[in-house]
Structure 1
Amino acid sequence: MTSVTFFVQFVVIMLLVVSIVYCDLVGHGRHELVNGKIVKLRGNTKIAEKPEDLEFYKNMPGSCDVEMDKDGHIILWYLKHSNTTKEGCSIDLVVRDALDPNSEFPMRFGIQHNKELTDCLADMRFDWDRAMADNMSAMTSNLLGFTFSLKNGEFDRVKGGFAERHKKFCGDVSKCKDRGGKCLEVGDHSVGWARSGDYVRVNIQHIGETIFWTCQSKVTHNRHEADVPHYFDKEMDFTNCIKTPRDYFCFKEKNVRRPKKWRITDEDYTNKEYSSLFTFHILPTTSMQTSMQNLWIECDKDADKEDCNENAAFQQCEKMFIKFPHFVFKMLVPDNSANKQTTTEETTTMVTCPTVTFDPYVNCPVIDCPSFFGCPDVDCPAKKDSKKTLQITLVIVGSIILLLMFTALLICLFVSKSK
């Protein structure tokens, strides 16, 4: 019977090992993500209701320079020569489960200067007859790079720049190389500001891509501020004033970074309206510096140009900003009330979490929100990373071992009865 007891104990241990689920840590708060759901909020767990609620977050490492205006909108500032331009930053937002499928994640990108914008915006010299700019490097004079929905390890890698990959990663190798680009694994985003004629022009470009999409605003560059609404359309293309066909040469369309909503299932989080997490990251200048310098300033051909040094700032105007509308986004901050403050874990990017069974959304909630609601897509990623591969391997190996142990147990029982 001793042998039978040993095998029973061994089987129990193996069941515990196989049932372990690894989770990723996401966002500024390093929240636990399992099977596309946030099973535990950490660090930032409370919705900011007033400007004072942001102060504790703003004093934390990796935080963004944010404020809440009188209408409740969250404004993220990107200041010239600030720590954000050097290190990047992260912000945790919560959104409604139901957003407008034709215009998701709406936000306003803007630029400010203490003098007229004419003083700090470069002239693109846009030629309407040829529908192209003669000075495409103008957009690098004020450029803001950003991304979203990253796991913490991914953000650290992106901060260092985008390494060249095998040609199979390109959407069109010849067009990418001929235009001075290199094949990249993923397409992150940037918004650049310039002027053309009398007006401010805003440009969308994926970092490292050899083409961009430009939009002329209605604001003249003799003003001190301009802002333009941007959003992700139903194809999840980042769009501003006009929808145009998208071509991708230096990476594949499927590898363009798209935003994700992660449903919050943490029982300690009780807000049923803003019930999905959306993480947003500002990229440091270093993440886009080399690729943008080579593409538009041709620093790889002449490194002695003024804007080719490693400390070149992609910002001539005093401030750039992103405004997140209050009726779509709320910001998560630390709950520093008594006995509720949680600490951010810094030692690892992977922890063990309880097993969570994935179940898709069934119905759309009815929400009184101006034109930003609809059924969300079920977050069920097909691409498995190395951690998920490890999990599957453990399950398979564990199942085989359990089968062998069960067989051995039956043999022991049979031998025991024979005696």
Structure 2
Amino acid sequence: MTSCSSSSPLRLGIAGLGTVGAGVIRLLRANADLLSARAGRPLEVVAVSARDRTRDRGVDVSALRWYENAADLVSDPDVDVVVELIGGAEGTARAVVEAALKAGKPVVTANKALLALHGSTLAQLSAANNAPLLFEAAVAGGIPAIKTVREGLAADRLLRVGGILNGTCNYILTVMRETGKDFATVLKDAQDLGYAEADPSTDVDGLDAAHKLTILAGLAFGQPVAFDSVHVEGIRRIGAIDQTFARALGYRIKLLGLASMTDAGLQARVTPCLVPQNAPLAQVDGVFNAVVAEGEFVGRIMIEGRGAGAGPTASAVTADLVDIARGHTIAVWGVQTNTQPALRACPLSSGQGAFYLRLMVEDRPGVIADISAVLRDCGVSLRSMLQHPAENDSTPYVPLVLVTHQTSEAAMQDAVARIDALSVVTDSTVVIRIEAA
């Protein structure tokens, strides 16, 4: 590892010059004096790597060494720290990070997918080569979520961690609630505004939030979590009608990533949830993120802010660089051994909760009795029921919403499968879990 005791510059090589990479260079230059004072030495970019030399990135990189091949940047003897901002769990990004760690060079990355899928391997490389791996920017942009969970709460035994971890989904759900527009319309508007990608699947199908939850859970419980064991649902099936029913019931709909350690083991899931409209999480709207942690001694805390964008993400990357310059580093998962195998979450069916079910049913007598019989046979107790009339006389189906008392996930899954098999039900049931806060 590079010595951090000298007052000579900490020399940085940045692999990836997209929005965040350019933002890091801009921030380092704008706050050079402040950062030097806080880090105890200057932070100096000496080399960069990106595919297109001709692209205007809004920052002057003409005086920096340019590498077409990011692997060559890693082997540059004048690069003390490698900053990986390429993205993606495989390919060049993974090769750059692994090569840097094997060479004993500290790495700072914003790559949530890489950490979520390969965190166990990277932690072992970091420990074996005494090469710090820092990733504050990988979760919730400029919110200091990593430091809060791994360092600020280090004295406590954490019971639960998670929150609103994807700004695109939170924006879409907020606008749907406020305007009454359907999912497809709001998604298109979000794409036009730059809040959603041309291919939005990673966001709206819950994968981005699941990457972040996997990292947070690993930090909270001191052991990497197997990404493929996390239950993941997105928001594509949430309709404008669900927003109407949620409001009538006193809730707001949020996509939440939640992980908790229970007697059955780790429970980790990303799902749409109904949250009481007066709860702190329900007030987090638009592109904002919120991270919640609950400990035995500290109780429940929540921090919120912008979860993406050049400025917040560049700020988090640079904060990690300041830590490296100070010589302040920490084991990847916050425990002194970085050789644990990945922890797998227990099946979703082992959980408990209350549920919102939205069905489309035939508008005729006896339907509710048929559905109630299924719930009775599965041991599911109803708390309330809402029904909207058909929009016109020619519509043969009407929406029916059921809200349950606490029950097991296994019973609920069984009940939904039986309900969907009824001839009076068209389309599969929309299931949204209910969270207390």
Q: TM-score range by the shorter chain?
A: under 0.3
Point out the structure with the larger helix share. 2
TM-score, structure 2 normalization: 0.22
TM-score, structure 1 normalization: 0.22
Rg (Cα) greater in structure: 1
Higher relative contact order (CA 8 A, sep 6+): 1
